[in-house]
Amino acid sequence: MRYALPLSASLLLLAAAQAASAQAAPLIAPTKPVAGVSQEEWSKRWWRWALSFDDDDSPVTDPDGSRCAAGQSGPVWFLAGSYGTARTIRSCHVPAGRTLFFPLVNALAMEPDDADESCASLKRRAARQTPASSALVLEVNGRRFHGLDAHRQATRRCFHVVDGDDTLAAGNGFYVALGPLRRGRYTLNFGGILPEQSQAVTYTLDVD
């Protein structure tokens, strides 16, 4: 005798099967080094990467993910945020075994062109731009992560964003490291809201 499952039960089984097959992306504790380097240092490297492009070629202004691989090397793969407040949707390929590193929301304070500013002042300015966020979001394949306010990374020592330029900068914000990634497809939704800025980004990553 055959038994027909109710539609609602069939949908629940399908959802369970999809959840079981979804790839997991481990969230790394904010105090744990990634590839032997502190996440505070990776936040500086993220800024150097993000600001190393002209606007027309920048992964931050990328409308669809076609610039995802620009400037990437080594064990850590950066994901870009966005400059606007509207949701940005991107798709790209990432090599297996990489660890993702990216900001949920962040800010950078740089020395003005016409005056010197101390590192202490820059750090205070960056901190004022990134008070406790009202809405930090990180979701991977439908799984939402909590406790993201613990993932603040603040510059301890000011740094030069551009090689050969003596302009000092200090960063502050909320960053996450995920991985290393196994082969599969990942859908990431992330972002945050601050008093003067916000971002909302969706990435579909094919890892192979």
Q: Which of 42-46, 94-98, 129-133, 185-189 has the lowest mean pLDDT?
A: 129-133
- Mean pLDDT over the full length of the chain: 90
CB atoms under 10 Å from CB of 56, counted, come to: 7
pLDDT-derived band at 6 (thresholds 50, 70, 90) equals very low
Decide: helix, strand or coil at residue 90.
Answer: strand
Q: Which of 15-29, 32-46, 85-99 has the lowest mean pLDDT?
A: 15-29
pLDDT-derived band at 165 (thresholds 50, 70, 90) equals confident
Q: Is residue 125 part of a domain?
A: yes
Decide: helix, strand or coil at residue 101.
Answer: strand
Instruction: Please write the tens of the pLDDT for every residue from 9-26.
Output: 443 433 433 443 456 789
Which amino acid is located at 178 in the chain?
A: L
Q: Is residue 37 part of a domain?
A: no
Q: Is residue 200 part of a domain?
A: yes
Q: Which of 27-31, 116-120, 172-176, 194-198 has the lowest mean pLDDT?
A: 194-198
Residue 166 has pLDDT above 70, yes or no: yes
pLDDT of residue 84: 85
The C-alpha atoms of residue 109 and residue 184 are separated, in whole angstroms, by 37
Q: Is residue 20 part of a domain?
A: no
Q: Is residue 88 part of a domain?
A: yes
Q: Is residue 166 part of a domain?
A: yes
Q: Is residue 24 part of a domain?
A: no
Q: Higher pLDDT residue, 162 or 106?
A: 106
User: Domains in the chain: how many in total?
Assistant: 1
Q: Is residue 138 part of a domain?
A: yes
Domain with 84, as residue range(s), is 45-207
pLDDT above 70 as % of the chain: 89
pLDDT of residue 164: 82
Q: Any residues with CB less than 8 A from the CB of 94 and at least 6 apart, and which?
A: 68, 77, 100, 181, 205, 206, 207
